[in-house]
Structure formats: C-alpha cells, structure tokens
Amino acid sequence: MTATALHYDPAFVSAEDRAEIVQWLAGIQPIWERRFTDRAAAAAGGQRKLLRPVYWLGSWQFACLDYYRPPSGIADRCVEAEPYPAVLARLVARVEKLARSLYRGADMPARWHLSTCLVNLYGSRLEDGKRIDCARVGEHRDFEPGPVASISLGERALFQFVKRGKRDEPTRVEAQQWLDDSSLQLFGSDVWKKRLFHRVLRVDRRGGSRFDVRVPDFETRRVNLTFRYVPDEHVVPFARLAPRTRDDVRGYMSELARGSAFFAGQLAAEREGQLA
C-alpha cells in the first residue's frame, strides 16, 4: 500500500518483543462471543457465534451490544478491561509517535491515543471431529475516531480495502496488502475509514505457525492486535452499565473472571455496590 494515509512496516515487532507477546498470549483466556443478546436473537433470525475467539484490552466491546458506533452508539458500549501488558504499552507508544508524524488536522483527534485493543485469533475450529477454517473477517468499517493500528503475528493474511458496488454490482478491491508476521499496518483519513470497507480475505497455512492460546477446540495460526481510540469518558466499569445491559453480558464477565483477576474484581465491585 503506497497511497497517502496508509503505512506498512513488515518488521515492526522485534524478535524479543514478539516472544514476550507470545508468552502473554499463553496466559489469557479468549472467549467465543455470540452476535446477539438472548432477547434480540429471535428478532434477528437466530443466534450465532463470531467466526473467531477474541480478547480485548483497555475496554471490551461486546458484539451483542453492537460495538462502539459514534455518534449515536456510545452509551453502554465499552466496558472497562485490563490494561496493556508492558510489551504492548511500549509498542503502542512507538505507534502513537509515528501516527502523529503522519496525520494532521481532522485526521488526528485532539485527544487521540490508542486506548483499546482487540485481539483476534484466526485459525480453525473443531466441529464434529473436523477442522473448519474460519480465518477471515468480512468487510466492515472501524467507527472509532482517528488512525487505526494493526499488529500481525503468525501466518500472513491478505488484507483488502474494498468499495461496495451498487445493486447487482460486484465489490471492487481498491488496495490490498499481505500482512506479514511481526508487521504493523496503520491507516487513517476519511478515504480509508469512511468511504471504503476493509476485510481479511484469507490467512495462509504455509508457514506452519501455531500459537499456544487457551481456547478449547480451536487451532490458532494467526493473531492480530488492532488498536483504536475510544474517548475515556465513553468507557465505564461493569458496575456502571445499565442494569439490563449488565445482565446481557454478565455471562461473558463470569467467563472472563475465571481466568482474570481484573474481571473477577469487576464482578466483585458490582456485588459490593449492590450491598452498599
């Protein structure tokens, strides 16, 4: 990708930092989320799981809450989550410095910083004794303001920016990049964030990469960490969610709490608040 507002570094992450990230990954417990709340599943035509297990840092955007979509989709969308481990904090500081050298004006919000991270696991799920490849992401936009940064580990992935055609017209690929192991992709501006969609079309197998991540019946061959900006005032502790929304994600919070002292503390804080 050579167009303005796109930056790609194929060797951004050092071998030492990569090893530290891999060690951290082995200690977390990503979860399978479902697309809808139980009460919305019937209206949506049925419930379904996401294609891949996920984990979030900084703030957790649950799929069933429809993610963070400003200007209207702000309240009760971002639940406080664990801070970045030291290795990611160091990498984020480097990315933020780079981004501020590349983007100006409307492309760089005044308080922008990479406050949230989505950890996506790409690979194959085990279903009825068979491996089902689900290493892809359909076309979508990121609604968080400002530049988006993506760090890739493991097998390379074919990332595309696409323009949807009108009715009965095919989707057109405007730009694409193979994202290599330890690479950084950075993109911003209205062209790449608002006028076009992006997707991961496929993930290679040829490198033989596998990650030791605690997800039952799932084989991870690529990990992607996507960093975005959510204003601090839009991130709330679990106990401050609206009661109905809290109930919608309580099961996920309980699942996360089994492997995370942070989320266990969030649930404890809610109980203490109810008893106060």
Domain segments of the chain as ranges: 6-234
Q: Tell me what the mean pLDDT of segment 27-56 comes to.
A: 85
Q: Is the pLDDT of residue 275 over 70?
A: no
Residue 2 pLDDT: 40
Residue 238 pLDDT: 97
Residue 247 pLDDT: 94
H or E stretch covering 265: helix 261-275
Q: Is the pLDDT of residue 162 over 60?
A: yes
Average pLDDT for the chain: 93
Which amino acid would we find at residue 43? A
**Per-residue pLDDT tens for 238-262?**
999 999 999 999 999 999 999 999 9
Answer positive or negative: Cα dihedral of 236, 240, 245, 246: positive
**Looking at domain 6-234, does it have CATH number 3.40.50.2000?**
no
Q: Tell me what the mean pLDDT of segment 10-20 comes to.
A: 98
Residue 44 pLDDT: 65
Q: Tell me what the mean pLDDT of segment 50-68 comes to.
A: 95
Contacts of 270 (CB under 8 A, 6+ apart): 238, 239, 246
Q: Tell me what the mean pLDDT of segment 119-144 comes to.
A: 93
Classify residue 238 as left (phi > 0), alpha (psi -120 to 50) or beta: alpha
50-54, 74-78, 235-239, 270-274: segment of lowest average pLDDT: 270-274
Percent of the chain with pLDDT over 70: 96
pLDDT band at residue 121 using 50, 70 and 90 as cut-offs: very high
Q: Which residue has the higher pLDDT, 28 or 48?
A: 28
Q: Is the pLDDT of residue 232 over 90?
A: yes
Residue with tokens 């290795």: 87
Beta-strand pair 235-236/78-80: parallel
Q: What DSSP letter does each residue of 172-221 carry, written as one string? A: EEEEEEEE-TTEEEEE-HHIIIII-EEEEEEE--TT---B----TTEEEE
Runs of H (alpha helix) within 26-172: 38-41, 86-102
Q: Tell me what the mean pLDDT of segment 53-71 comes to.
A: 96
Q: Tell me what the mean pLDDT of segment 32-47 comes to.
A: 78
